[in-house]
């Protein structure tokens, strides 16, 4: 059996997980899993995995995702993390990698290619704590495709360990010193933000995580109640807005973490007032992992995590970090202060110049969402058509109680008429993926 794992002492190998064997790693279905039991499941599953070089992990249960992710690494295979679990996206990724297969924890009505279903009862096998070579590539994450075609990004075990240490430094003051935080995440483990907060944090943090991925506000409240304090909720602006508007009561939390899209000051303030804890926003990408933090209720500037430096460039920013082998270029335009903190100024692709006037799609979308009655929405620029040097601005809006004319009239009060969306189309829901992002191809399809 090919493996990147070594049980003998080597300076370039690190343990798969840390902490005493009796520490709680995960909560699932009213029971808890200790680190010892988890590692037994990992060793047992690694023995029965199919052969291959790459595996797409489709597990919905977060504990089983954790077990499968580590078992795949134990076999010397690499986990592929597509931007979506949609069959066409998964198939496209499989076609790019030879000798690959898919694995999951439930029967699927539409089977992806080369699907292998995990045993209902996970096998267990005794043995020492597995060691993984630092240089080993354990995952390949794909960008969301919100600005174009998804691109792959290789993640090494050393990089994951370094980025997890940075994440702990960014979050540890939310819970009491020496406490073991319990994490509930509304984002899937397949997304890099979900991977960092709900897979790597309990694996090498340490922390404990609930296996569920609650969606509706009532489910979030129920799942939070099933774990001990201090509780940490990892979520997105879309879910956070739904939680605030629902009026649901949540158990006491040490903090709420948000990522994947900009979080407005108004929503952050409302959430802090409603739930009695700090809302901390994290900034990162599939390419860089998490690199900065802020408290959006009170601060617009981002504080880089330890060892991270952001360098502005005319077309974006260059990120220097301990967990990155080389600096990584991002499309985000930044303005850096003398102390290293930075402000996001949109993306070059989001900046509009029409009839000599300038605006950003991000700001236009925020103004759209601020209209009473608008539940969700997005502004985008269409490709330039025949006879047009500049693409038109368009909008997709979820607003059950408003019509298009009313939305345009409200928008015109704060937006220059050259940037008013034509067309503006009402839809029942935006095509957000599991992390709340909006792939451009899906938006264009709706339009």
Domains of the chain (ranges, CATH numbers): 1-150 (3.40.50.12780), 155-346 (3.40.50.12780), 355-446 (3.30.300.30)
Q: pLDDT (tens digit, 9 = 90+) per residue, 92-111? A: 899 999 899 999 998 877 78
pTM reported for the whole predicted model: 0.84
**pLDDT at site 1:** 37
Residue 235 pairs with which residues in a beta bridge? 258
**pLDDT at site 355:** 66
Cβ–Cβ under 8 Å, residues 143 and 192: no
Between the two ends of the chain, the Cα-to-Cα distance in Å is 50
CA–CA separation, 103 vs 179, rounded Å? 34
Q: pLDDT (tens digit, 9 = 90+) per residue, 305-324? A: 998 999 999 888 999 998 89
**pLDDT at site 164:** 94
Q: pLDDT (tens digit, 9 = 90+) per residue, 393-440? A: 999 999 999 999 999 999 998 888 888 998 999 999 998 877 778 888
- ∠ CA 178-183-184 to the nearest 5 degrees? 160
Which SS3 state, helix, strand or coil, does residue 410 take?
A: helix
CA–CA separation, 66 vs 72, rounded Å? 10
**pLDDT at site 388:** 54
Separate counts of helices (H) and strands (E) for the chain = 12, 27
**pLDDT at site 148:** 57
Which residue, 151, 154, 57, 153, is CA-closest to 100?
57
**pLDDT at site 439:** 83
Tokens of 91: 């198939």
Instruction: Compute the chain's Rg from CA coordinates.
Output: 22
Cβ–Cβ under 8 Å, residues 100 and 56: yes
**pLDDT at site 383:** 79
Tokens of 414: 């704060």
**Mean pLDDT of residues grouped by 10 in the chain (447 residues)?**
49 88 93 96 97 94 97 96 84 90 88 90 95 94 71 93 92 94 95 95 94 96 97 95 94 96 92 98 94 96 94 92 91 92 83 75 86 90 66 90 93 88 92 81 86
């Amino acid at each position: 059996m090919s493996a990147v794992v070594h049980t003998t002492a080597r300076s370039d190998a690190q343990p798969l997980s840390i902490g005493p064997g009796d520490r709680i790693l995960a909560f699932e279905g009213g029971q808890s899993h200790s680190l010892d039991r988890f590692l037994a499941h990992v060793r047992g599953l690694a023995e029965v995995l199919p052969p291959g070089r790459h595996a797409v992990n489709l597990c919905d249960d977060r504990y089983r995702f954790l077990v499968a992710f580590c078992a795949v690494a134990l076999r010397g295979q690499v986990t592929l993390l597509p931007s979506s679990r949609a069959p066409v996206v998964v198939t496209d990724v499989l076609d790019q990698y030879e000798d690959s297969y898919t694995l999951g924890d439930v029967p699927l009505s539409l089977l992806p290619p080369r699907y292998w279903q995990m045993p209902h009862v996970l096998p267990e096998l005794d043995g020492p704590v597995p060691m993984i070579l630092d240089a080993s590539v354990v995952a390949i994450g794909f960008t969301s495709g919100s600005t174009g075609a998804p691109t792959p990004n290789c993640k090494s075990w050393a990089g994951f360990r370094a980025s997890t240490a940075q994440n702990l430094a960014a979050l540890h003051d939310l819970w009491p010193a020496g406490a073991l935080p319990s994490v509930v995440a509304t984002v899937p483990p397949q997304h890099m933000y979900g991977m960092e907060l709900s897979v790597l944090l309990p694996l090498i943090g340490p922390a404990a995580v609930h296996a569920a991925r609650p969606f509706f506000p009532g489910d979030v409240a129920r799942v939070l109640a099933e774990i001990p304090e201090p509780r940490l909720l990892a979520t997105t602006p879309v879910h956070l807005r739904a939680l605030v508007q629902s009026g649901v009561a949540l158990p006491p939390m040490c903090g709420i973490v948000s990522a994947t899209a900009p979080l407005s000051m108004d929503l952050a303030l409302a959430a802090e007032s409603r739930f009695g804890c700090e809302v901390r926003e994290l900034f990162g990408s599939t390419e860089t992992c998490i690199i900065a933090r802020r408290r959006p209720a009170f601060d617009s500037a981002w504080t880089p995590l330890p060892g991270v430096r952001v360098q502005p460039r005319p077309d974006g920013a260059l990120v220097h970090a301990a967990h990155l082998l080389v600096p990584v270029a991002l499309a985000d335009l930044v303005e850096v202060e003398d102390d290293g903190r930075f402000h996001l100024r949109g993306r070059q692709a989001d900046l509009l110049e029409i009839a000599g006037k300038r605006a950003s799609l991000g700001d236009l979308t925020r103004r759209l969402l601020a209209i009473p009655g608008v539940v969700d929405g997005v502004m985008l620029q269409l490709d330039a058509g025949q006879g047009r040097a500049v693409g038109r601005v368009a909008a997709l809006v979820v607003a059950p109680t408003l019509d298009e004319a009313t939305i345009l009239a409200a928008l015109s009060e704060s937006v220059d008429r050259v940037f008013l969306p034509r067309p503006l189309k009402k839809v029942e829901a935006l095509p957000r993926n599991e992390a709340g992002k909006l792939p451009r191809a899906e938006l264009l399809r709706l339009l």
